[in-house]
A and B are shown apart, each in its own frame.
Chain A
Amino acid sequence: MTEMLEFVVHYGYALLFVWVLLEQAGLPIPATPLLLAAGALAGQGRMHLALAMLVPALASLCSDTFWYFFGKRRGAMVLNLLCRIALEPDSCVRKTETTFTRFGPRTLLICKFVPGLNTAAPTLSGMVGVDFPRFVLFDFLGALLWTGAYAGLGFLFSKQLDVIAAGASRFGGSLILLFIAAVIAYVFYRWNERRRFIEQVKGDRITPDELKHKLESGESLTIIDLRHPLDRLTDPRTLPHALQISPEELEARHGEIARDGEIVLFCT
């Protein structure tokens, strides 16, 4: 932590700006420790707290604006691309859309505190057509809330952070190794769970050619369109004879699904 503090002091606000800009653009380089460090330095009088909050908030707005316009132009493709780097890409798009449906652009106020939602929410804002001034307002306020929370924590506990840093130094590298090992173990566990799930359904998938052949030959099957209403706004058409039932409606409407014949599911 001491090295982190010295690193931040040396490169100052420029470092804060660039680091947060890149992190919000999608790079896996957590900015939280840096914000904590900046707050701690402000607590020691070596940085200005307001600037330690404002500079990274502006950087975040810049990155988010890029994703907003990219989402506006490329829509669903961008969301799928961003969710590909998530630990649960299959549910990432859905979770993002569901949260955005419930809270609208207010999602931008809290998205930076929610893993996965942070990267996708600006994109979704552009995709669904949130007007730009409204996006800037909510996004900047959300960014300020985020930088304020962590820089503020660092500021409030700047003395305690020194104690923690001193303790970490005493333990030497073993504490860091333990932390890294815990992160690796968690990521591996999530990856393995997802791999097992994919293997389970992989063998059951149907190709578009196969489905088209079955439809043309008149085979008995039920097709379910699982697309979120936001996806259907992009293209309201659907496959022939498809039932439109969202995952949220499944519990209530599964009785409508015929038990004879195959069931084919699709989303975007």
Chain B
Amino acid sequence: MALQLRKHGIRPVRPLLGGFYEWKRLGFPLTEPMESAEDIAPKAGSSWAEAREG
């Protein structure tokens, strides 16, 4: 991803060490959900949603 962004002239690009879970583990601030689970589910794929319904 970092290299992809650089190709578009976007720099400096810095990956967050440890990612989301490390940030969360350290107890650093997080924002309230921008989307509800119902909003995200379609992006996760309708096949997934069907499988959950069984």
The residue in chain A whose Cβ has the minimal distance to the Cβ of B29 is A240
Complexed CA–CA distance, A23 and B40 (Å): 35
Residues of A within 8 A of B33 (CB): 236-238
B20/A204 in contact, CB under 8 A:
no
Please report the C-alpha to C-alpha distance between residue A254 and residue B42 in the assembled complex, in whole angstroms: 23
Q: Are B47 and A106 in contact (CB under 8 A)?
A: yes
Chain A's interface size range is 35 or more
Taking a contact as CB atoms under 8 Å apart, the answer to whether B2 and A204 are in contact is yes
Give the CA-CA distance A225 to B31 in the complex, in Å: 12
Which of the four size classes fits the interface of chain B? 35 or more
Chain A, range 193-215, C-beta contacts under 8 Å to B: 197, 200-201, 204-209, 211-212
Within 223-268 of A, Cβ neighbours of B (below 8 Å) are at: 225-233, 235-242, 244, 247, 250, 254, 257, 259, 262-268
Q: Tell whether, in the assembled complex, residue B5 and residue A128 are in contact, meaning their CB atoms are under 8 Å apart.
A: no
* Complex contact A128–B52 (CB within 8 A): yes
Binding site for B on A (CB under 8 A): 76, 100-106, 125, 128-131, 133-134, 197, 200-201, 204-209, 211-212, 225-233, 235-242, 244, 247, 250, 254, 257, 259, 262-268
